[in-house]
């Protein structure tokens, strides 16, 4: 479980003011062997949930579970399978036939000049980033509605509302997820199931380091490269740094909990203030 405590002036801990307990809940986080997905899976497990760890191969899932297996209250469950395929989806749903929490985190991104994105690439991005989440939602939402409790989350992006010129195909898919999230929230209306999307900003992962060096001088040390990236490509960020994966996970754990029971159909921002708008 996750606790946030008030601290007195002399540094002593006070009483719990927030307690997130997901004991007895089963969750699946797609693409959770590394990066944001791994941080979300760890956060849910620390709150007591049993969490399905998903990746394309048994080996990657096993390695990830060994790495994150210490210090979590909830169990880690192997759920390997490429959810962009019928076979992989069947593998995952067989491993986890019942869910209380579904976090659609799978997504790919890469800088590409707009006029160089061919039809096959447009389709690949849509099928991976959007359709895989839709298919998982179709698989698990009916059971959540039947039990009158569930949480479905889509990891979207600030790119869904501030389309980046260097990867409009990615931005398109994240915009689509906002529509998918709102639509399925309406499908689940009137009960204990909530459906939301999380607009994550540029987050510090191994993948983002490679992405940053696609856009700035490859000879720069990482700290300088990060600053150059934020200055040149994310100048509206109010925190003026990359977000850490755990900061995204904190929002997801809250939205997965009973504390967020009145939050549904929303697009909640963890973007460092990058989107220059009061609303998404």
Kindly report, residue by residue over 35-89, the tens digit of the pLDDT: 999 999 999 999 999 999 999 999 999 999 999 876 667 799 999 999 999 999 9
Does residue 2 have a pLDDT over 90? no
SS (H, E, C) 136-182: HHHHHHHHHHHHCCEEEEEEEEHHHCCCCCCCHHHHHHHHHHHHHHH
Q: Looking at the domain assignment, is residue 190 inside a domain?
A: yes
Give pLDDT tens digits for 158-200.
Answer: 999 999 999 999 999 999 999 999 999 999 999 999 999 999 9
> How sure is the predictor about 149, in pLDDT bands with cuts at 50, 70 and 90?
very high
Q: Looking at the domain assignment, is residue 183 inside a domain?
A: yes
Write the CA distances from 46 to 72, 170, 246, integer angstroms. Answer: 4, 31, 12
Q: What is the pTM of this model?
A: 0.91
pLDDT of residue 4: 44
Q: What CATH code is carried by the domain that includes residue 71?
A: 3.40.50.720
Q: Looking at the domain assignment, is residue 2 inside a domain?
A: no
Give pLDDT tens digits for 196-250.
Answer: 999 999 999 888 888 899 899 999 999 999 999 999 988 999 999 999 999 999 9
Average pLDDT over the chain reads: 92
Boundaries of domain holding 102: 18-203+243-270
Residue 31 CA to residue 107 CA, distance in Å, equals 8
- Exposure b/e, 169-178, CB count within 10 A at least 16 = b: bbbbbbbbbb
Average pLDDT over residues 10-15: 52
How many folded domains does the chain comprise? 1
Q: Looking at the domain assignment, is residue 112 inside a domain?
A: yes
Active site residue 213: no
Average pLDDT over residues 85-109: 97
Q: Looking at the domain assignment, is residue 7 inside a domain?
A: no
Out of 109, 170, 213, 274, pick the active-site residue: 170
Does residue 20 have a pLDDT over 60? yes
pLDDT above 90: percentage of residues in the chain: 85
Bigger pLDDT: 69 or 119? 119
Q: Looking at the domain assignment, is residue 4 inside a domain?
A: no
Q: Looking at the domain assignment, is residue 229 inside a domain?
A: no
The vertex-11 CA angle with 5 and 15, nearest 5°, equals 25
Q: Looking at the domain assignment, is residue 103 inside a domain?
A: yes
Q: Which of 56, 54, 57 is nearest to 36 (CA)?
A: 54
């Amino acid at each position: 479980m996750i606790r946030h405590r008030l601290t007195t002036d002399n540094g002593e801990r006070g009483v719990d003011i927030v307690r997130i307990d997901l004991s007895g809940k089963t969750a699946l986080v797609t693409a959770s062997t590394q990066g944001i997905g791994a941080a979300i899976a760890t956060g849910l497990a620390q709150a007591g949930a049993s969490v399905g760890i998903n990746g394309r191969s048994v080996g990657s899932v096993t390695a990830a579970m060994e790495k994150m297996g210490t210090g979590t209250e909830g169990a880690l469950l192997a759920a390997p399978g490429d959810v962009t395929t019928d076979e992989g989806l069947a593998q995952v749903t067989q491993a986890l036939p019942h869910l209380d929490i579904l976090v659609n985190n799978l997504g790919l991104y890469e800088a590409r000049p707009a006029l160089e994105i061919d039809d096959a690439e447009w389709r690949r991005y849509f099928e991976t980033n959007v359709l895989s989440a839709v298919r998982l939602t179709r698989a698990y939402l009916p059971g959540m509605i039947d039990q009158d409790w569930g949480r479905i989350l889509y990891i979207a992006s600030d790119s869904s509302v501030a389309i980046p010129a260097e990867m409009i195909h990615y931005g398109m898919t994240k915009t689509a997820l906002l529509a998918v999230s709102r639509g399925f929230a309406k499908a689940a209306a009137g009960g204990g199931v909530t459906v939301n999307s999380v607009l994550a900003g540029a987050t510090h992962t191994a993948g983002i380091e490679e992405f940053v060096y696609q856009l700035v001088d490859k000879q720069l040390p990482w700290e300088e490269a990060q600053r150059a990236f934020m200055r040149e490509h994310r100048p509206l960020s109010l925190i003026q740094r990359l977000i850490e994966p755990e900061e995204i996970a904190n929002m997801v754990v809250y939205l997965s909990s009973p504390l967020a029971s009145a939050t549904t159909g929303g697009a909640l921002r963890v973007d460092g203030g990058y989107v220059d708008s009061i609303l998404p």
